[in-house]
Amino acid sequence: MGLSAPAETFQSEAKQHFATALQHIDDTVVGVLDSINKGLNTNNEFSQELAQLLKKYQLWEA
């Protein structure tokens, strides 16, 4: 189950889309994000490979 509907309306369309996306976060997504966070904090090789993958798909720019 996601978060409840945002209590405010955002002026920016981007902020509104972000708030809507947050409503759809469930326990599975939280678990994946937690695993990524732990990997980033504890495994340098994981961090480097994730950075390369994000750059490859133009999802992150260093």
Q: d(Cα 53, Cα 7) in Å, to the nearest integer?
A: 36
| pLDDT given for residue 46 in this prediction | 93
Residue 33 lies in a domain: yes
Q: Is residue 48 part of a domain?
A: yes
| Domain count across the chain | 1
Evaluate whether residue 37 is within a structural domain: yes
Looking at per-residue pLDDT, the higher value among 26 and 6 belongs to 26
Residue range 7-54, pLDDT digits in tens: 567 788 888 888 888 888 999 999 999 999 999 999 999 999 999 999
Query: Residue 12: inside a domain, yes or no?
Result: no
* In a domain? residue 49: yes
Note whether residue 8 is domain-resident.
no
- Residue 22: its pLDDT value, please? 87
Residue 40 counted as domain residue: yes
Q: Alpha helix (H) ranges present in 1-62? A: 13-23, 27-42, 44-56
Whether 36 is in a domain gets the answer yes
Please give the residue range of the domain that contains residue 35: 27-61
